[in-house]
Homo-oligomer: A and B are copies of this chain.
Amino acid sequence: MSVADLKTRIASEFGTPAVVIDLDVVDRNIARVQGICDAAGVGNRPHIKTHKIPALAKAQIAAGARGITCQKLGEAEVMAAAGIDDILVSYNLIGAARSGRLAALRRSVDLTVCADNPVTIAAYADAAAQAEATIGVAVECDTGRKRAGVETAREAIELARLISVTPGLEFRGLLFYPTETSWTETQAFFDDVRSGLVPLGLEARLVSTGGSPNLVNVGKLAGATEHRAGTYIFNDRMQVKAGVATLADCALSVFTTVVSRAGPERGILDAGSKTLTADQGGLEGYGLLLEHPEAKIKGFAEEHGFLDLSKCNARPVVGDIVRVIPNHVCVVVNMVDQLIAVRGTDIVDVYQVAARGRLV
């Protein structure tokens, strides 16, 4: 089948817009990153927030991953129900702990959660008491990204101590997510924490680094035991921009129809902010049209993508189906209930995005 045939078949079987992943590319991406972790002697714990699909998490584990990372307890619930039993949730799960869902999940599977403050630790202690089981807790550390995480080694040591003396909790280790330029700082931070834990009789058995853009840095933190990357399984324009993927490594594209041409330099796609999302990721435009790379998706209405065609020599006509590589693939998957799986130009499966919509 040609790409044109695939477009016709997707249009007739599913309509557009349709979110499509190429499993040949997915397989290559999984193998490549497993190889990077293996070569660095660092465990691979992929972040499933990108795909939210148990079958793909299992493919990552089958290729050598030691477990998975989730960002929401609801994601972990779906993955645990599918039989995955080594789960790290890299989030201050206060909302899930208060709802009783953390305790309920802990009764069926061991998992490691994380904290950067005493309130979260207290919520975990309550959940452990409810579950009548020990909950493993890692301390999230911030070395420059200004997301969550304690900002000093002293605070990390104090939280590790607090976890270790709190009934029902077990100190598991440390989570880092270094910026491009903060690896030296991260090493110093980690070394300080490690030294500070010794007199307490504590040890960070889990030392985790994060991020697909950081795949070039896996193993750089001496003492790291694991890396957690998510986006690499599909990749997107942000990963290409970051230099960790090429267009050929982008497994996901949105098949979308040009539904209006309005003016000679304008076009309209049937994929808007409710499909491609307004998450621009700091890039120019909102996606790359494979068939018309000079076209710019300059903005959105909810169900309209606005094309600026002024720089195109060959312009699409109404009815054309084009493929868009999104800026940020994780948020696109989060919009849809299913991904159409192809290998090259053959449709081979339809995956339900089982962990989508798990807000808590």
Interface residue ranges, A against B (CB under 8 Å): 11-19, 49, 71-73, 91-92, 94-96, 98-101, 116-117, 119-120, 123, 142, 146-149, 151, 256-257, 259-263, 266, 268, 270, 273-275, 277-280, 301-304, 306, 317-319, 330-331, 334-337, 357, 359-360
For the complex, what is the distance from the CA of A117 to the CA of B268, rounded to whole Å?
A: 12
For the complex, what is the distance from the CA of A117 to the CA of B260, rounded to whole Å?
A: 7
**What's the dominant secondary structure at chain A's contact region?**
loop
Total copies of the chain:
2
Q: How far, in Å, is A53 (CB) from chain B's closest CB?
A: 15
- For A145, give the chain B residue with the smallest CB separation: B301
Please list 25 pairs of residues, one from A and one from B, whose beta carbons are closer than 8 Å in the complex, sorted by A's number. A11-B98, A11-B99, A13-B99, A15-B73, A15-B359, A16-B94, A16-B360, A49-B303, A91-B259, A94-B257, A94-B319, A95-B256, A95-B270, A119-B318, A120-B318, A146-B266, A146-B306, A147-B262, A147-B301, A147-B306, A148-B259, A275-B359, A277-B279, A302-B330, A335-B357
- For A91, give the chain B residue with the smallest CB separation: B303
Please name all residues of chain B whose beta carbon is closer than 8 Å to the beta carbon of A95 when the two chains form the complex.
Answer: 11, 15-17, 256-257, 259, 270
A334 close to B331 (CB less than 8 A): no
Please name all residues of chain B whose beta carbon is closer than 8 Å to the beta carbon of A120 when the two chains form the complex.
Answer: 259-260, 318
